[in-house]
């Protein structure tokens, strides 16, 4: 039994007009044995058994502006504090972990900023939780794609299409030889487009095309529902119709529903993290993705949407690169890595930079909406253009040079290179 | 069919270096029909069916400091925008609601601040979801407390006590004639204190006392677990042993697990919102409690912890008062109001202000940890002192005056009135 296996270590970025050291000690105390008054029963033996301890404190330069507004005067002191929680005091339950090492920390008085920036879990978590059922290898096996990124697209508009209208759009993109298609995460099972009717309208086309061509498009269905029993009915509907993937709004359904689904799932679980941004967008507050993603990987996410290079959203490229690295780094084994999914405003023009900045790997899904379906030559040309852009990236050929002999790519550059249309 | 019933209306506090009006329009577009490029199939008819619309925009004074750090120059413009989403585009699923009207909003570029400050749901939500099974009336019936607040206490230390050690503390507080006892929210079912062993050690004492006195202490067991199946086993353990209440870490388990539990529950569900603070602590970011609590009430929270007056945490009194008002205001019927639970640093000294600022109601639980168990006369005197403080509050008698003929209250004042010990 090594000592390192018996602690869960969290790193907190602390910002305060007062003493970061004092606040670090307060986190350790409040989140383990601490209470407001010394109580009978709070013995030294008990403290030794379960008390959290500050095991590292690194001062950072103070900042002039507080992360939380305050009437206190600056500058605001900052430090990164490592706090070790005895594993036995928490166990492997992820909701207990979240409650003890993260949840309560946010309510402590005296911070002008608090962000959880790292979490190191002992190996007990690797055996207690299933992790991805399919992950990178399963996603490749089921799509039949090797040696290049899985190319995907999204059915838009997000809301409002009736099943037959959705089916018409899907027909176009599967004819375009795309590897993967997904429902917009906002589409689940509204009354104007119940999942059952969408499945009935679309799955036969996918199976028919598989019979003709031998290639089965992976379609990610929006099966999320608040009631886990209902989500399972959605899951079964898709599985029984021959489907193999589902979009899960992990942040909206929560840990419990994800655990429930994973235990019973026969589908690749494609995670959309809608809502996550508010927990990470302010650099002095909330949580790093490197912390949050650990929970969801242990719970069983197979494919993880993490934005991409030059996205339409607030997230800067370096944050995407850090997220890619986080989910591509094994927690306990290489099998616990989900397939990274780069999306939002992608059209192929970001392939070279994505490839260069993520360790020159093609183990990812590259998800293009308008970048495929709004290609001037149609969706088929759009898919070709994206594949060409990745061939160029891997071969280290500038995209403009490669486009000279690849007309679909040339058309993409002409349409999307200003960054506004994809 | 009235028009008002067919929309879900959200109010967003928008802050930006640019135009709030433009960003409000972007929210409406992105979260409904919007996409990045005009696509085939995105017809006018479809837009009329599902498009969200900005129905109100109220300019607010600009601020000099941005909520999210930015390199843009201020001042930063602000407005409250009301956006109406057609009900049919979303339906009653709460995870769909969260995904569409809140989740994606946080990722939109161009904000220096974004906070969801109100949400008005049509009556369809009131019939689609169960709401509290017990609520205020059920909590009163099961505790036998009428005409005054339910007085509760918490077993501390939070972590580390073995079942027999916990049982010894519980024995003290139930002898003290307290109405309600709860596990600290951080205590669920760790290996040093499995829930099953705690139930075995404690429930017989509660039942024995009920036989002797006719009064059954409501004990809230920490049944939360990531796996809903495991949480249900915990639930059944408690129910079969004669227990009637559970602490649920709602933010850690998520919507799905709460829905799953509520459908099967025979216990009063006492919600701890651990982790919530990071979503609301920065006034320019995240969400107002008045929005968030609606989800959890519909899902079935019976008792809702909302801090209190002069708590040990960051939350200011006016925020507690607003939360109290929010959960005491019917959404669709008076039965959907949970019992408000005021806690943290409470000892009776906050009774008068709590009573005065929450509409002179005694429909609440008043939860005291150290304020009861660290009373110089013991827990029994602590409970008496808290009841006396509430008698004084309701009768409009200053606490010091009432203490002249109530020695337990006098002792509490002497010990706790500096605000540091309770």
Do residues B172 and B89 share a domain? no
- Mean pLDDT (chain A) is 94
Across A57-74, average pLDDT: 96
Query: Of A157, A277, A422, which has the smallest distance from its Cβ to B33's Cβ?
Result: A157
Confirm whether B209 is domain-assigned: yes
Picking from A95, A156, A188, the nearest residue to B96 by CB comes out as A188
Q: Phi and psi at residue B118, in whole multiples of 5°? A: -160, 155
- What Rg, from alpha-carbon coordinates, does chain A have? 24
- The arithmetic mean of pLDDT across residues B62-73, rounded, is 96
The tokens 């044995």 sit on which residue? A33
- B positions 337-396 inside 8 Å of A (CB): 345, 369-370, 373-374
* Residue A353 to chain B, least CA–CA distance (Å): 21
What is the C-alpha separation between A407 and A396, in angstroms, rounded? 19
Q: What is the ipTM of this complex?
A: 0.96
A145-159, B223-237, B267-281: which range is least confident on average?
A145-159
User: At residue A309, does pLDDT exceed 90?
Assistant: yes
% of chain A at pLDDT higher than 70? 95
Chain A residues touching residue B195 (CB < 8 angstroms):
none
> A161 by DSSP, 3-state: which?
coil
Sign of the C-alpha dihedral computed for residues A133, A139, A144 and A146 taken in this order: negative
Q: How confident is the model at residue A50 (pLDDT cuts 50, 70, 90)?
A: confident
Instruction: Examine the pLDDT at A5 and tell me if it is beyond 80.
Output: no
Please tell me whether residue B35 adopts helix, strand or coil conformation.
Answer: coil
Any idea what DSSP says for residue A129? S
- Identify the pLDDT of residue B159: 83
Q: What is the pTM of this model?
A: 0.96
The shortest C-alpha distance from A384 to chain B (Å) reads 19
Residue A422 domain-assigned?
A: no
Tell whether B142 and B18 lie within a shared domain: no
pLDDT in tens, A120-130: 999 999 999 99
Q: Which of A17, A72, A107, A297 to probe the B interface (max B CBs under 10 A)?
A: A107
pLDDT by residue (tens digit) across A376-420? 999 999 999 999 999 999 999 999 999 999 999 999 999 999 765
User: From CA A155, how far away is CA A172, in angstroms rounded?
Assistant: 10
Strand, helix or coil at B222?
strand
The C-alpha atoms of residue B255 and residue B274 are separated, in whole angstroms, by 14
User: Poorest-confidence range of A357-366, A403-412, B183-192?
Assistant: B183-192
Q: Which residue is associated with the tokens 């915990």?
A: B234
Chain B contact for A157, CB < 8 A?
Answer: yes
Chosen domain end from A128, A153, A168: A128
Mean pLDDT score, B40-58 = 81
A102, A159, A231 member nearest B50 (Cβ): A159
Residue A302 placed within a domain: yes
Residues of B in contact with A40 (CB under 8 A): 169, 373
> In this structure, is residue A421 part of a structural domain?
no
DSSP sequence for A311-350: -SBS--HHHHHHHHHHHHS-SSSGGGPPEEEEESS-SSTT
CATH of the domain at A44: 3.30.70.150
Q: Does residue B316 lie within any of the structural domains?
A: yes
Q: Is the pLDDT of residue B83 over 50?
A: yes
Rounded Cα gap, residues B54 and B52, in angstroms: 7
Confidence at residue A265, expressed as pLDDT on a 0 to 100 scale: 98
Quick check: is A159 in a domain?
A: yes
**3-state DSSP call for residue B182?**
strand
Strand order across the B113-120 sheet:
B53-63, B76-86, B7-16, B113-120, B285-287
What's the structural domain count of chain A?
2
Please give the structure tokens belonging to residue A114.
Answer: 């608090």
What pLDDT does residue B422 have?
Answer: 65
Q: Check CB contact of A65 with chain B, cutoff 8 Å.
A: yes
Q: Are residues A363 and A235 in the same domain?
A: yes
Cβ proximity of A149 and A362 under 8 Å: yes
Q: Is the pLDDT of residue B2 over 70?
A: no
Given a cut of 80, is residue B3 above it in pLDDT? Answer: no
DSSP state of A196: H
Residue B393 lies in a domain: yes
Closest-CA residue to B237 (of B270, B271, B179, B197) = B197
Domain final position from A128, A144, A168: A128
From A94, A128, A162, give the residue that closes a domain.
A128
User: Both B19 and B154 in a single domain?
Assistant: no
What CATH number did the domain enclosing B411 receive? 3.20.20.110
- Same structural domain for residues A215 and A95? no
Segment among A27-31, A264-268, A358-362, B74-78 with least mean pLDDT: A27-31
CA pair distance B327, B135, nearest whole angstrom: 11
Domain hosting B154: range is 135-416
pLDDT of A36 higher than 50: no
Query: CB–CB of B95 and A253 under 8 A?
Result: yes
CB pairs A-B closer than 8 Å: 338
Q: Which residue of B has its CA nearest to A102?
A: B275
pLDDT of B143 > 90? The answer is yes
What pLDDT band is residue B42 in, cutting at 50, 70 and 90?
low
| pLDDT average, residue stretch B306-335 | 97
- DSSP helix, strand, coil percent of chain B (3-state; round to 5): 45, 20, 35
Domain match, A276 and A354 both: yes
**pLDDT for the residue numbered A49:** 79
Q: Are residues B158 and B301 in the same domain?
A: yes
Judgement on whether residues A72 and A149 belong to the same structural domain of the protein = no
**Residue B421, in any domain of the structure:** no
Same structural domain, A117 and A32: yes
Say what angle helices A379-395 and A163-175 make with each other, to 10 degrees: 50
Work out the pLDDT band at B5, boundaries 50, 70, 90: very low
- What's the confidence (pLDDT) of residue A1? 40
Residue matched to tokens 């994973």: A262
Angle formed at CA A114 by CA A109 and CA A115, multiple of 5 degrees: 155
Determine the Cα–Cα distance for residues A324 and A174; give it in Å rounded to an integer: 28
Whether residue A263 sits in one domain with residue A164: yes
User: Between helices B195-213 and B163-175, what is the axis angle to 10°?
Assistant: 20
Same domain, B111 and B194: no
Residues 264-323 of A with CB under 8 A from B: 274-279, 281-287, 299, 312-315
pLDDT confidence of residue A197: 97
Asked whether the beta carbons of B29 and A156 are under 8 A apart, the reply is no
The pLDDT of residue B418: 78
What's the pLDDT tens digit per position in B380-410?
A: 999 999 999 999 999 999 999 999 999 999 9
- Say yes or no: A98 and A223 in one domain: no
């Amino acid at each position: 039994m090594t000592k390192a296996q018996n602690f869960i270590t969290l790193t907190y970025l602390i910002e305060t007009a007062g003493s970061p050291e004092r606040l670090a000690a307060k986190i350790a105390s409040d989140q383990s044995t601490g209470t407001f008054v010394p109580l009978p029963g709070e013995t030294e033996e008990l403290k030794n058994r379960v008390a959290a301890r500050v095991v590292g404190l690194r001062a950072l330069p103070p900042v002039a502006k507080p992360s939380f507004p305050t009437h206190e005067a600056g500058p605001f002191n900052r430090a990164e504090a490592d706090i070790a929680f005895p594993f036995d005091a928490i166990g492997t339950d992820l909701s207990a972990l979240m409650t003890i090492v993260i949840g309560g920390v946010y309510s402590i008085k005296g911070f002008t900023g608090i962000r959880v920036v790292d979490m190191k879990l002992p190996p007990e978590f690797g055996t207690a939780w299933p992790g991805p059922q399919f992950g990178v290898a399963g996603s490749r096996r089921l799509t039949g794609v090797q040696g290049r990124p899985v190319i995907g697209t999204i059915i838009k508009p997000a809301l409002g299409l009736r099943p037959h209208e959705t089916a018409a759009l899907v027909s176009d993109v599967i004819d375009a030889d795309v590897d993967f298609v997904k429902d917009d995460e906002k589409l689940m099972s509204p009354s104007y487009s119940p999942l059952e009717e969408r499945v009935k309208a679309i799955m036969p086309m996918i199976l028919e095309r598989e019979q003709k061509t031998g290639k089965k498009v992976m379609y990610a269905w929006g099966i999320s529902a608040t009631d886990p029993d209902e989500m399972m009915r959605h899951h079964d509907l898709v599985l029984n119709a021959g489907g193999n993937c589902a979009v899960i709004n992990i942040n909206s359904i929560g840990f419990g529903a994800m655990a429930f689904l994973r235990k019973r799932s026969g589908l690749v679980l494609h995670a959309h993290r809608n809502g996550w941004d508010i927990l990470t967008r302010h650099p002095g507050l909330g949580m790093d993705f490197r912390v949050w993603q650990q929970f969801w990987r242990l719970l069983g996410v197979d494919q993880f949407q993490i934005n991409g290079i030059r996205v339409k959203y607030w997230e800067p490229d370096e944050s995407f690169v850090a997220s890619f690295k986080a989910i591509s780094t094994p927690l306990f084994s290489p099998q616990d890595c989900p397939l990274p999914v780069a999306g939002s405003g992608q059209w192929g023009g970001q392939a070279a930079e994505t490839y260069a900045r993520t360790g020159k790997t093609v183990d990812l899904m590259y998800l293009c909406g308008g970048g495929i379906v709004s290609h001037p030559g149609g969706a088929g040309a759009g898919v070709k253009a994206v594949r060409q852009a990745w061939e160029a990236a891997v071969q280290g050929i500038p995209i403009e040079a490669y486009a000279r002999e690849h007309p679909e790519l040339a058309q993409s550059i002409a349409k999307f290179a200003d960054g506004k249309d994809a």
